Amino acid sequence: MCGVFGIFNHPEAANLAYLGLHALQHRGQESAGIATSDGDQLSLHRGMGHVIDVFPPEQLARLKGDNAIGHVRYSTAGGSMLKNAQPIAVEYSRGSIAIGHNGNLTNADTVRESLEARGSIFQSTSDTEAIVHLIAMSQQKSPEDRIADALSHVKGAYSLLCLTPTSMIAVRDPMGFRPLCLGRMPGGGAYTVASEPSSFDLIGAEYIRDIEPGELVVVTKSGVKTARPFAESARSMCIFEYVYFARPDSTLDGISVYEARKNLGRKLALIHPVEADVVVPVPDSGVPATIGYSEASGIPFELGLMRSHYVGRTFIEPQQSIRHFGVRLKLNPISSVLKGKRVVIVDDSLIRGTTSRKIVKMVRAAGATEVHMRISSPPTKWPCYYGIDTPTRAELIASTHSVEEINQYITSDTLAYLPLEAMHEAVLQARRPALGANGNGNGNGNGHARSLPVISDPKRLESFCHACWTGEYPVEFTPPPKQRQMRLLDI
Ligand code: AMP
Atom of ligand 1 nearest to the CA of 395: 3
Pocket test for ligand 1, best of 76, 242, 244, 331 (most atoms within 8 A of CB): 244
Contact 437, 184 (CB under 8 A): no
CA nearest to 482, candidates 28, 150, 104, 118: 104
CA nearest to 482, candidates 217, 99, 107: 107
Contact 93, 136 (CB under 8 A): yes
The pLDDT of residue 127 is: 87
Give me the count of residues in the chain.
491
- The mean pLDDT value for 290-307 works out to 97
* Domains of the chain listed by start with CATH number: 3-250+433-470 (3.60.20.10), 255-426 (3.40.50.2020)
Q: Is the CB of 388 within 6 Å of ligand 1?
A: yes
CA distance 170 to 67: 13
CA distance 67 to 63: 10
- Considering only CA atoms, which residue is closest to atom 22 of ligand 1? 315
CA distance 33 to 50: 10
CA nearest to 394, candidates 405, 384, 385, 383: 383
Contact 483, 75 (CB under 8 A): no
Q: For 368-411, what is each residue's pLDDT tens digit?
A: 999 999 999 999 999 999 988 888 888 999 999 999 999 999 99
Residues belonging to the active site: 2
Q: Is the CB of 4 within 6 Å of ligand 1?
A: no
Contact 393, 384 (CB under 8 A): no
Please report, to the nearest 10 degrees, the dihedral formed by the alpha carbons of residues 268, 270, 272, 275 taken in order. Answer: 120
Distance of alpha carbon 37 from the chain centroid: 26
Q: Is the CB of 86 within 6 Å of ligand 1?
A: no
Share the mean pLDDT of the chain. Answer: 88
From the CA of 430, how far away is ligand 1's center (Å)?
A: 23
Pocket test for ligand 1, best of 290, 355, 373 (most atoms within 8 A of CB): 355
Report which secondary-structure segment, H or E, holds 146.
helix 143-151
Q: Is the CB of 353 within 6 Å of ligand 1?
A: yes
Helix ranges (DSSP H) in 307-402: 320-330, 335-338, 354-365, 397-400
Q: For 307-360, what is each residue's pLDDT tens digit?
A: 987 765 444 454 555 544 556 678 999 999 999 999 999 999 999 999 999 999
Asked whether residue 200 carries a pLDDT value surpassing 60, the answer given is yes
Q: Is the CB of 354 within 6 Å of ligand 1?
A: yes
Pocket test for ligand 1, best of 349, 354, 396, 469 (most atoms within 8 A of CB): 349
- Considering only CA atoms, which residue is closest to atom 18 of ligand 1? 389
The pLDDT of residue 441 is: 40
The pLDDT of residue 397 is: 96
Q: For 451-482, what is each residue's pLDDT tens digit?
A: 444 444 444 445 899 999 999 999 887 655 45
